[in-house]
Chain A
Amino acid sequence: MTDIANFDWTQLTTGLKNKAFSSRELTQAYLRRIEALDPTLGSFLHLSTETALKAADASDARRTNGTLLSPLDGLPIALKDIFVTQDIPTTCASRLLEGYIPPYSSTVASRLEAAGTVLLGKLNMDEFAMGSSNENSAYKVVRNPWDLNCVPGGSSGGSSAAVAASLCAASVGTDTGGSIRQPAALCGISGIKPTYGRVSRYGMIAFASSLDQAGPMAYDVATCAAMLEAMAGHDPHDATSAQMDAPRFELPSTSDLQGLKIGLPAEFFGEGLDAEVQASLDRAIETLRSMGAELIPVSLPHTSYAVATYYIVATAEASSNLARYDGIRLGQRKVPEFEDGVDVDLLTELYERTRSEGFGAEVKRRILLGTYVLSSGYYDAYYLKAQKVRTLIRQDFEKAFEQCDLLLAPTTPTPAFGLGENLNNPLQMYLSDILTISCNLAGLPGMSVPCGLTSNNLPIGMQLLGPAFREDVLFHVGHAWQLATDWHKQRPALAL
């Protein structure tokens, strides 16, 4: 069967529809690619070969009977290992959850299954979603398909590498401070973090509850739109889930952006931006102008405080969320050694050993920071202060959206960096999130699409940020961009 590596949304769905290939054949094609390429890339933590083939056969049967479940029926996808999947191991890339087999499925997994997708397996990530390079996985590193010595980004590194290397038709990641958009940019694919509350967090292992959001990642905006339609919508199991139905996204048939006002936030450009990233954005701005959009300067004055705000709020919430990993009800319990005559508090020993041996360094670092900023005497100075700055950041966006329909910015300050480059400098690693973080603090939707390649053939991504619940604007512009350009059609040169 023809090489699926270049297949976009139209080709995949048309191929299935016209029976050029079956879902089983498509699934097998991806499984062959996984077998050939993933030992090098490291994007999968678990492969569900048998269940995938069963699901593919079921889809083919539905196609014969004319009972297809959705436009996604028969499409092989993979999920970040942060989504619990019933009877399928889920580890969050942590040793603490090694061997954990969830007795239930997350809403994201259930809805995509109900839409007829085929689940290939679970994808590698930074442990407990904490990281920007996938180097914090307790299991193995993920390599960027564009340059095997570079990181794929994080924390949804496996999700982006798998799509970029054509190991699945689409994946689902999560984004707390940029973890969908940054890896999407570094791997040359499209990804969207929806508005906070758009997609249910039920069964999505929690990092920072007021920031976490699940979103699709794929070659193109069209696939992301179809995935989000299936994933989104109110869920009674998630109290923060917006009381709205799943939206329908109508994509434009032309690249005409006449009448659209795009804001360029001054603080997201200029100093600190890699020269090639800047040049790529400059060219994108010209292209968008030629497509009919009006580009205006805007300001988000509190941008420089976003990283500091995030690392107080997110770590505080994480320290609370990760307190449940105590080795009692689930996970790798480390039983304390009982020595005769030694007076030891067995329970504290159990907690400390389980957590210290189960969590990696980055997780422990963030738990420490979070515990400190919430501790007695410090709550006002740190956490409360950060939540107030968060209001200022949110207000910046509200004011900007009075002048324009959406914002445009680079997604990352640099292209993919080398494996090991930022490992000994956590603060340096945190600063790479500077362009993606504000959007999570404000709860707004953000999308990254490919917009260029560096002279070293590394992808560059640009970001579209929209008002709350206006993913439709992002999809409109993103799809129009992909009709007018072919950056999203570029593929890494991977030999099978």
Chain B
Amino acid sequence: MQVVDQLQVQSIAKLARLRFSEQELTAFTDQLNQILEYVEQLNELDTSMIEPTAQTAFVQPFLREDQVQQGLSNQQMLQNAPSQLGGLITVPNVLDEL
């Protein structure tokens, strides 16, 4: 059963900023279809009167005084940056012209 075709998988990949070879695209499309076919079974259940469970933690809002606390230094935060200059992270040009 085909729920998605290669073109659709291609556009989902684009949304997730992923790209694939022809081979990978075929394999992923097949696997995705198998999984999506499997999860169809959830439609056997009537959930019209059921509230969704977003999370199971029994949390109440935990507030604190708005006081500045110790954080990481700029140097620490930059230590894993792939490319940096003058205390800033550098990236390729995003704008063509200013």
Say yes or no: is A252 at the interface (Cβ < 8 Å to chain B): no
| Contact in complex: A384, B52 (CB < 8 Å) | yes
Say yes or no: is B2 at the interface (Cβ < 8 Å to chain A): no
> Which of A349, A369, A387, A388 lies in contact with B32, CB distance below 8 A?
A369
| Contact in complex: B35, A371 (CB < 8 Å) | no
| Contact in complex: A196, B52 (CB < 8 Å) | no
**B27 shortest CB reach to chain A, Å:** 8
Determine the distance from Cα of A342 to Cα of B3 in the docked complex, in whole angstroms: 36
Determine the distance from Cα of A336 to Cα of B91 in the docked complex, in whole angstroms: 11
Which of the four size classes fits the interface of chain A?
35 or more
Q: Which residue of B lies closest to A326 (CB)?
A: B17
Return chain A residues, CB-CB under 8 Å to B39: 308, 311-312, 382, 386
Determine the distance from Cα of A308 to Cα of B45 in the docked complex, in whole angstroms: 12
Per-residue 0/1 for B17-57: is the Cβ within 8 Å of any A Cβ (1 yes, 0 no)? Answer: 11110001000100110111011011111010011111111
Return chain B residues, CB-CB under 8 Å to A197: 56-59
| Contact in complex: A319, B80 (CB < 8 Å) | no
Return chain A residues, CB-CB under 8 Å to B36: 369, 372
> Which of B54, B72, B82 lies in contact with A210, CB distance below 8 A?
B54
Say yes or no: is A26 at the interface (Cβ < 8 Å to chain B): no
Determine the distance from Cα of A476 to Cα of B82 in the docked complex, in whole angstroms: 49
> Which of B13, B77, B89 lies in contact with A368, CB distance below 8 A?
B13
Instruction: With A347-B91, A442-B56 as known contacts, state yes or no: A371 contacts B45, CB within 8 Å.
Output: no
Return chain B residues, CB-CB under 8 Å to A351: 17
| Contact in complex: B62, A239 (CB < 8 Å) | yes
Q: Which residue of A lies closest to B77 (CB)?
A: A103
Return chain A residues, CB-CB under 8 Å to B16: 319, 323, 355, 367-368, 371
Determine the distance from Cα of A348 to Cα of B92 in the docked complex, in whole angstroms: 10
Determine the distance from Cα of A210 to Cα of B52 in the docked complex, in whole angstroms: 13
Say yes or no: is A155 at the interface (Cβ < 8 Å to chain B): no
Determine the distance from Cα of A236 to Cα of B67 in the docked complex, in whole angstroms: 14
Return chain A residues, CB-CB under 8 Å to B55: 196, 209-210, 240, 443
B-contacting 9-mer, from A177-185, A327-335, A402-410: A327-335
Return chain A residues, CB-CB under 8 Å to B93: 346
Return chain B residues, CB-CB under 8 Å to A368: 9, 12-13, 16, 18, 28, 32
Instruction: With A100-B80, A326-B17, A352-B18 as known contacts, state yes or no: A388 contacts B92, CB within 8 Å.
Output: no
Determine the distance from Cα of A102 to Cα of B80 in the docked complex, in whole angstroms: 8
Name A342-373 residues within 8 Å CB distance of B: 346-353, 355-356, 359, 361, 364-365, 367-369, 371-372
Determine the distance from Cα of A104 to Cα of B83 in the docked complex, in whole angstroms: 20
What is the predominant secondary structure among interface residues of chain B facing chain A? loop
Per-residue 0/1 for A80-102: is the Cβ within 8 Å of any B Cβ (1 yes, 0 no)? Answer: 00000000000000000001111
Return chain A residues, CB-CB under 8 Å to B34: 426-427
Per-residue 0/1 for A290-332: is the Cβ within 8 Å of any B Cβ (1 yes, 0 no)? Answer: 0000000000001011011101100000010001001111111
| Contact in complex: B89, A328 (CB < 8 Å) | yes
Instruction: With A336-B92, A368-B18, A388-B50 as known contacts, state yes or no: A443 contacts B82, CB within 8 Å.
Output: no
Instruction: With A329-B89, A356-B20, A368-B12 as known contacts, state yes or no: A387 contacts B72, CB within 8 Å.
Output: no
Determine the distance from Cα of A468 to Cα of B56 in the docked complex, in whole angstroms: 10
Determine the distance from Cα of A394 to Cα of B81 in the docked complex, in whole angstroms: 42
> Which of A103, A302, A468 lies in contact with B79, CB distance below 8 A?
A103
Q: Which residue of A lies closest to B76 (CB)?
A: A103
Instruction: With A236-B64, A308-B42, A309-B42 as known contacts, state yes or no: A391 contacts B32, CB within 8 Å.
Output: no
Return chain A residues, CB-CB under 8 Å to B91: 328, 347, 350
| Contact in complex: A347, B92 (CB < 8 Å) | yes
| Contact in complex: B47, A356 (CB < 8 Å) | no
Q: Which residue of A lies closest to B71 (CB)?
A: A104
Determine the distance from Cα of A156 to Cα of B89 in the docked complex, in whole angstroms: 34
Return chain A residues, CB-CB under 8 Å to B18: 352, 355-356, 359, 364, 367-368
Say yes or no: is A68 at the interface (Cβ < 8 Å to chain B): no
Say yes or no: is A385 at the interface (Cβ < 8 Å to chain B): yes
| Contact in complex: A311, B35 (CB < 8 Å) | yes
A-B contact pairs, 27 of them (CB 8 A): A103-B79, A104-B72, A239-B62, A243-B62, A308-B41, A308-B42, A311-B38, A312-B39, A326-B17, A329-B89, A330-B82, A333-B83, A336-B92, A346-B94, A347-B92, A350-B91, A361-B24, A364-B28, A365-B28, A367-B18, A369-B36, A372-B36, A375-B15, A385-B43, A390-B53, A391-B53, A443-B57
Q: For the complex of A and B, list the 10 residue pairs with the smallest distance between their C-beta atoms, beginning with the closest.
A: A443-B56, A387-B52, A333-B82, A103-B76, A346-B92, A388-B47, A330-B80, A351-B17, A197-B57, A210-B55
